[in-house]
Structure 1
Amino acid sequence: MKRYLLSLFLMSTLCFAVVPERVSNNIEKDSFTKDNSSLYVRDQNRAYNRILSLGKKEGLSEDKIDNEVKRLEKKYGTDYEIIYKNFYYNVKELSKNQKKAEEIRKINEEKKEEYNVLIKKNEMPSDIKEYIEKSAESRYPDNYSERVKYTEDLIKFYNFIKK
């Protein structure tokens, strides 16, 4: 029985060793107001550990995780189960936005190459070509998809007038 209790004690300290002192102090302060404080402390520690594992799974650094937890603590207090739920949705939204931004960046790179080919292959006077390039660049400085559309329209217009 002593071995069992000792192993249980060691396992519980190993499970909660990841929790920073700031978080542990918050949990301890709140546990005094709860009826079953040992269960409350256990649940809060588990919730915090789930926050850490989710953040690491999504590729966030410990600093980013800690900053997000601090931000959520200001908003929701020190109930880490509630913070975990909000952290989960925030991380999923952040991950979705990062994937979307990466897609847009990739498409923009492809369109940049297409834009360069479009400008080079057109046979028109250099002053008109230069005007089209400057106009497209000033209207759409970072959006090559729109720049390609705009340049194609100007080239079509030039060819229409030329005829």
Structure 2
Amino acid sequence: MKRGSTLFLKLAVFLIGLPVLALCIFFVPEFAEFTGVLLSDFPVIEPVVFIYMYLTAVPFYMALYQAFKLLTYIDRNQAFSDLSVKALRVIKFCAITISVLYVVLMPVIYMVAEIDDAPGLIMIGMIIIFASAVIAVFAAVLQRLLQEAITIKSENDLTV
């Protein structure tokens, strides 16, 4: 693969991380404070939401790092290696983790949306869950295909 296309994809991976970083810096503290005000019956809800939202950013950035590593393996002509399979496995588990974390957080999001009369908030949570699930399935399929390709390649290398 040409280096220009992987360079573009590496840039895209970097640019995907920037809005999430901006959300973590500006939106998460405001959302946690807003949740604490709306759900004042639960005194610990503000720090829990704050920590939980940052906790969901960790697997996101781990997956981005693995995607960057995968593109580096492609640059080095190591696309069909166990390293690539491992990177896809980590991406799959990170996506599953994000989905599970947001499924657990959805009751809080639902309560905030009910009190504030903001049904779009529920849709945002559902989109995050659905997108993470799709990425997990896609990574699992690619992982399996890549593992089969590596197996076929190693069998062909042994027959020569």
TM range (shorter): 0.3 to 0.5
Please give the TM-score of this superposition, normalised by the length of structure 1. 0.33
TM-score with structure 2 length normalisation?
A: 0.34
Larger Rg, first or second structure (1 or 2): 1
- Larger RCO (alpha carbons 8 Å, 6+ apart): 2
